[in-house]
Amino acid sequence: MALEHAILVSLLEKPGSGYELARRFERSIGYFWTATHQQIYRVLKRMEGDGWIDVREVPQQGRPDKKEYSVAGPGRAALSGWLHEPIEPESVRHDLAVKIRGAAFDDPAALIREVERHHRAHSDRLAHYLAGELRDFTGPEAPAAPGDAGQELQHVVLRGGIAYERMTIAWLDDVLATLHRLRAGH
C-alpha cells in the first residue's frame, strides 16, 4: 500500500485536513495517485493511531471546524524506510486497450466515439498540466530559485505527466486512424 506514503508526502509538502487532502487528490498528487475521501479518512485514522501523524483541532469561522494533520517523527521514519525500499515497476490497467482488442469481435467503428471522448479528456488534462507548469515553474511568476530540491522534483514529476498525456494523445490519434481505416476497408 502506498496511499499512506502519498499522504505523508502531501502532508510534508503542506499540513492539512482530510478534506483538503481529498481535494489535493483530485488535482496535483491525484494525477499520480487517486483516492476517495473515504479511504483518506480511514488511513488518516490508522496513521494517527500508529503515531505517524499529529492532529490539531482548528476552529474556523464561516465553515465547520477541521482537524489539521501534520507528519510526526515515526511517520517521517516510515516514509524514509519506504523510499529506500525497491518497488516493482507498476502493473498497468488499460481498459481501453482491452476494449480495442475486444472490438475485433464486435463493431470496431462503434469505438470511434469512445476513443474521441478519451482523446478530449487527455487533451484537457494536458492543457491543465501545461497551465500549471507555466504558473508554478516556467512562467514569470514562478519562484526564481532553481536550487530548491522540492521545486525541481515536483517539476520533473509534472514533466512526466505532460509527456504521458502527449504520448497518449498521439497514440489515440493512431487508434482513430486505424479504426477509420478498418471502416473504410470494411
Partner DNA sequence: TCCTGCTATGCAACTCGTTTCATATACAAG
Partner DNA sequence: CTTGTATATGAAACGAGTTGCATAGCAGGA
Rule CB under 8 A: which of 2-61 touch its own copies? 2, 5-6, 8-9, 12-13, 29, 31-34
Three-state SS for 34?
Answer: coil
Distance, CA of 176 to CA of 155 (rounded, Å): 31
**Per CB under 8 A, 104 contacts its own copies:** yes
Picking from 113, 119, 122, the residue whose alpha carbon sits closest to that of residue 183 is: 113
**Per CB under 8 A, 127 contacts its own copies:** no
CB of 42 or CB of 159, closer to its own copies: 159
138 binding partner (options its own copies, DNA, none; Cβ < 5 to 8 Å by kind): none
Closest CB 57 distance from its own copies, rounded Å:
25
Picking from 32, 23, 26, 44, the residue whose alpha carbon sits closest to that of residue 154 is: 32
Picking from 18, 28, 29, the residue whose alpha carbon sits closest to that of residue 68 is: 18
Closest CB 165 distance from its own copies, rounded Å:
10
Rule CB under 8 A: which of 131-150 touch its own copies? 147, 149-150
Cβ-based burial of 102 (10 A; exposed 0-12, middle 13-18, buried ≥19): exposed
Do 76 and 58 meet the contact criterion of CB atoms below 8 Å apart?
A: no
- Number of Cα atoms under 13 Å in the Cβ half of residue 119: 15
**Per CB under 8 A, 181 contacts its own copies:** yes
Q: List interacting residues with its own copies (CB under 8 A).
A: 2, 5-6, 8-9, 12-13, 29, 31-34, 76, 79-80, 82-84, 86-87, 89-106, 108, 110-111, 114, 117-118, 121-122, 147, 149-150, 152-157, 159-160, 163-164, 166-167, 170-171, 174-175, 178, 181-182, 185
